[in-house]
């Protein structure tokens, strides 16, 4: 192990910051918190390919940069493809003796839009080709960088600028696309969900994903005070409540085997997660009940998969 | 000893990439480019070429993967055509703006709709303003030579720009011609190793592709424009060195029998060889004609063009692309613009033909020469004339 560490309880966290201060993320941003933790978990031997989005914009206004690790941004939908080229390029140059053999992890970073909408084709291709890379999806559940437009990862009932709640609409009329399951369907060695509400779990998963040989995918819920219209001091709490209500369960799938990482003896009602957020403010009792039923159903399906591998 | 073999332009380009010892190939199949990635995949599978072959899921990802491999300093190659080049369009801009010296061969193809897999220059013209170095080949030997030369020029530390090598779909890509292949030793003498000073590396972290706020974006674009124009010196040096090693010398503007010619025909790509036959026939019957083959398209060779046409009375430009609603064919438009401020300049007449693989014969070029001379002398109300079109409308008015 290299560098200095901070002791938090029984956990040692690297003191090194790879995303430098001076960035322009919003106050209380859950995404940059998760990003900092992820980078600490990965260390310095990485090359990061970043899709267009909040992280890219908030860390790289020419002529300055927040990145203390090698970093590249090219476009919005092509991050997994760019990562494919980085990974393949490094591997072949090491094989041909054009650069010294060493461990350099290629890490792709994108938001939920860049992953579940416009970037899904490139991501699917990179998974299928078995590139040795880690893909981190920072999911703040809408196009926050362009002004809170809906994505396919926006949860049912949330009000966004392109699926606003109104007299005739509840807001988002579709259920959140299940990206981790789509990743699992590619039979890649490692898939996990994480939340900055559980920082050590998040760091462990990112570290594990970085150590896997082959494609790995970590889907990170990223509470967004600006887009969720929630108080900026509640991001970590919402990151916990999402898990405690099973709106966003924490699990990992290693070589196809499901494991639940946080399994509350009794789930909190989804209302506790929805209420502090302005994007759900318009929901009526019946709507919340519908969401609760959906969450129960999805959680039961997940637990059934976990049970398959319990023995 | 070099050897003379029969090769399609596609196989010639693949041979050039192999002899350049490329590290990464990322490609998606599209007619008429398919024989290039197929042959390279074969070479990798048979151990004739040590490279990573990435069978991507689209052209957008093909060029995106190339960005990644070039960013870590790998010698990078791809190939596409028509719709493929259109699909990767936004990545095409990024490759040049981020100064990655990717080499891409384009087997020129018409654009949909209606769907056409056959040749014209619509795909090339749609990317003429993307900041790549662009050259057009007139035969299969040039397909080999230009592909090899493209690595030498693009990767030069004074250039660092991507290079597009164009050859016509089917009429070159799928036609076998004799090609002289050099010895590996000669190639190694001509083409140095790619040493990229800005490679992404954890030992020296660098940020590639930071975004440009309004107070800096313009400066980045000016720097890019200056770099593309300055690449001309290395382009010429590259062709000189190529000739010194391989014995074949190339110019940005190739002249064929232009001395004293009153009328010049200007063509690009495979048209040029057919047009040469028409020039020969015309010369045999005593006409004062010659041919200009425009090889370098970007950066545009202003000086060489002006020099080549300065004594001519008429310049007939034959395009393989329509600039819908525009002045004339895109090549003609630029040629006219290049000559506009010259005190003495030829009358410039525009023809368009050979769209979507329509054959243009020696006879058609002879017609264009005759008709071009007539238009230059008598004038015309038409902006340009379509060649070899059925129906009444062959002349297009403004």
Q: Which residue of A has its CA nearest to B216?
A: A62
Q: How far is CA A250 from CA A156, A178, A288, B69, in A?
A: 19, 13, 22, 34
Nearest CB to B73: which of A56, A93, A121?
A93
Domain final residue pick, B246, B278, B309: B246
Domain final residue pick, B246, B277, B299: B246
Same structural domain, B204 and B283 = no
Residues of B in contact with A77 (CB under 8 A): 60
Same structural domain, B190 and B312 = no
Same structural domain, B284 and B188 = no
Per-residue pLDDT at A310 = 79
Same structural domain, B329 and B391 = yes
Same structural domain, B268 and B241 = no
Going by pLDDT thresholds of 50, 70 and 90, the confidence category of residue B346 is very high
Phi, psi of A42 (to 5 degrees): -85, -30
**Dist CA A45 CA A102 (whole Å):** 9
**Dist CA A46 CA B201 (whole Å):** 8
User: Any idea what DSSP says for residue A69?
Assistant: S
Residues of B in contact with A82 (CB under 8 A): 64-65, 67-68, 71
Nearest CB to B202: which of A44, A63, A81?
A44
Same structural domain, B90 and B236 = yes
Q: Return the CATH number at B111.
A: 3.40.50.970
Residue B56 to chain A, least CA–CA distance (Å): 7
Average pLDDT over residues B20-28: 98
**Dist CA B229 CA B210 (whole Å):** 24
Nearest CB to A45: which of B76, B202, B211?
B202
**Dist CA B137 CA B147 (whole Å):** 10
Q: Return the CATH number at A255.
A: 3.40.50.970
Same structural domain, B48 and B184 = yes
Residue among A59, A81, A121 with most chain B CBs within 10 A, to mutate? A81
User: Any idea what DSSP says for residue A99?
Assistant: S
Give the burial string for A50-83 (b: 16+ CB within 10 Å, else e). Answer: bbbbbbbbbbbbbeebbbebbbbbbbbbbbbbbb
Count of structural domains, chain A: 1
Same structural domain, B178 and B289 = no
Residues of A in contact with B209 (CB under 8 A): 60, 72-74
SS3 A106: strand
H helix intervals, chain B: 9-19, 35-45, 59-71, 82-87, 89-97, 122-126, 140-154, 184-190, 214-246, 271-284, 302-309, 330-339, 362-378
**Sites in chain A below the pLDDT cut of 50:** 1
* Model pLDDT for residues B125-169, shown as the tens digit of each residue: 999 999 999 999 999 999 999 999 999 999 999 999 999 999 999
Same structural domain, B303 and B201 = no
Of B176, B149, B152, B157, nearest to B12 (Cα)?
A: B176
- Contact criterion met (CB < 8 Å) for B216 and A128: no
Per-residue pLDDT at B1 = 77
Domain that holds residue B353: 253-397
**Dist CA B246 CA B16 (whole Å):** 13
Same structural domain, B162 and B263 = no
pTM, rounded to two decimals:
0.97
Same structural domain, B166 and B120 = yes
Q: How far is CA B44 from CA A88, A151, B22, B38, B49, in A?
A: 14, 41, 11, 10, 5
Terminal CA-to-CA distance of chain B, rounded, Å?
56
Name B374's Cβ contacts closer than 8 Å, sequence gap at least 6: none
Residue among A84, A122, A145 with most chain B CBs within 10 A, to mutate? A84
Same structural domain, B241 and B275 = no
Domain final residue pick, B246, B267, B282: B246
Residues of B in contact with A68 (CB under 8 A): 205
Domain that holds residue A241: 5-308
Q: Return the CATH number at B294.
A: 3.40.50.920
Residue with token string 């990655």: B100
Count of structural domains, chain B: 2
Going by pLDDT thresholds of 50, 70 and 90, the confidence category of residue B398 is confident
The answer to whether residues B128 and B164 touch, using CB atoms and an 8 Å cutoff, is no
Which tokens hold the place of A179?
């990206």
β-strand partners of B395: B385
Per-residue pLDDT at B393 = 73
The answer to whether residues B310 and B343 touch, using CB atoms and an 8 Å cutoff, is no
Q: Which residue of B has its CA nearest to A126?
A: B56
For residue B344, with 0-12 CB atoms within 10 Å meaning exposed, 13-18 middle and 19 or more buried, which class applies? Answer: exposed
């Amino acid at each position: 192990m290299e560098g200095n560490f901070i002791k938090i309880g029984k956990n040692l966290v690297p003191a090194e910051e790879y995303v430098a201060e001076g960035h322009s993320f919003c106050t209380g941003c859950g995404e940059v918190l998760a990003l900092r933790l992820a980078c600490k978990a990965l260390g310095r031997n990485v090359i990061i390919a970043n899709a267009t989005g909040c992280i890219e914009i908030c860390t790289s206004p020419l002529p300055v940069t927040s990145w203390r690790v090698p970093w590249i941004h090219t476009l919005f939908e092509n991050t997994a493809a760019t990562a494919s080229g980085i990974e393949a390029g490094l591997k072949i140059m090491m094989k041909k003796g054009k650069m010294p053999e060493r461990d350099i992890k290629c890490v792709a970073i994108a938001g939920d839009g860049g992953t579940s909408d416009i970037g899904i084709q490139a991501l699917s291709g990179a998974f299928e080709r078995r590139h040795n890379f880690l893909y981190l999806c920072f999911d703040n559940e809408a196009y926050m960088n362009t002004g809170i437009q809906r994505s396919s990862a926006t949860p049912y009932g949330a009000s966004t600028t392109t699926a606003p709640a109104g007299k005739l609409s509840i807001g988002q009329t579709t259920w959140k696309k299940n990206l981790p399951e789509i990743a699992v369907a590619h039979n890649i060695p490692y898939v996990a969900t994480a939340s900055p509400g559980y920082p050590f779990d998040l760091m462990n998963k990112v570290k594990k994903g970085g150590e896997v040989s082959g494609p790995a995918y970590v889907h990170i819920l990223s509470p967004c005070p600006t887009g969720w219209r929630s108080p900026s001091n509640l991001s970590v709490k919402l990151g916990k409540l999402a898990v405690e209500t099973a709106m966003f369960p924490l699990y990992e799938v290693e070589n196809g085997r499901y494991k639940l990482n946080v399994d509350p003896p009794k789930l909190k009602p989804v209302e506790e997660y929805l209420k502090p957020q302005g994007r759900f403010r318009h929901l009526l009792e019946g709507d919340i009940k519908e969401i609760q039923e959906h969450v129960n159903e999805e959680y039961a399906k997940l637990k059934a998969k976990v049970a398959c591998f319990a023995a | 000893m070099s050897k003379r073999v029969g090769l399609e332009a596609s196989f010639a380009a693949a041979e050039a990439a192999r002899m350049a010892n490329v590290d990464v190939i990322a490609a998606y199949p599209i007619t008429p480019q398919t024989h290039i990635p197929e042959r390279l995949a074969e070479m990798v599978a048979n151990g004739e070429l040590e490279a990573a072959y990435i069978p991507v899921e689209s052209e957008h990802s093909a060029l995106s993967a190339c960005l990644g491999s070039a960013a870590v300093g790998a010698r990078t190659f791809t190939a596409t055509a028509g719709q493929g080049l259109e699909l990767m369009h936004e990545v095409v801009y990024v490759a040049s703006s981020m100064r990655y010296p990717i080499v891409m061969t384009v087997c020129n193809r018409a654009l949909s709709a209606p769907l056409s897999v056959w040749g014209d220059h619509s795909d090339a013209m749609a990317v003429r303003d993307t900041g790549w170095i662009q050259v057009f080949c007139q035969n299969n030997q040039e397909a080999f030579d230009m592909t090899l030369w493209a690595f030498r020029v693009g990767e030069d530390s004074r250039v660092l720009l991507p290079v597009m090598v164009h050859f016509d779909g089917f009429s070159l890509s799928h036609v076998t011609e004799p090609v002289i292949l050099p010895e590996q030793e000669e190639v190694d003498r001509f083409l140095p190793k790619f040493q990229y000073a800005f490679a992404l590396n954890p030992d020296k972290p660098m940020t590639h592709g930071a975004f440009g706020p309004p107070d800096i974006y313009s400066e980045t674009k000016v720097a890019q424009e200056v770099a593309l124009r300055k690449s001309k010196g290395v382009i010429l040096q590259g062709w000189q060195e190529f000739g010194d090693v391989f014995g074949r010398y190339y110019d940005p503007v190739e002249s064929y029998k232009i001395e004293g010619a009153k009328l010049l025909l200007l063509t690009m790509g495979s048209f040029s060889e057919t047009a040469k036959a028409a020039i020969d026939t015309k010369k045999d019957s005593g006409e004062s004609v010659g041919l200009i083959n425009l090889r370098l398209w970007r950066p545009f060779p202003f000086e060489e063009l002006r020099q080549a046409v300065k004594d001519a009375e008429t310049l007939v430009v034959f395009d393989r692309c329509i600039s819908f609603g525009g002045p004339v064919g895109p090549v003609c438009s630029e040629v006219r613009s290049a000559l506009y401020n010259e005190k003495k300049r030829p009358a410039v007449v525009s023809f368009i033909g050979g769209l979507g693989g329509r054959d243009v014969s020696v006879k058609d070029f002879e017609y264009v020469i005759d008709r071009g001379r007539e238009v230059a002398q008598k004038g015309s109300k038409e902006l340009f004339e379509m060649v070899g079109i059925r129906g009444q409308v062959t002349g297009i008015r403004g």
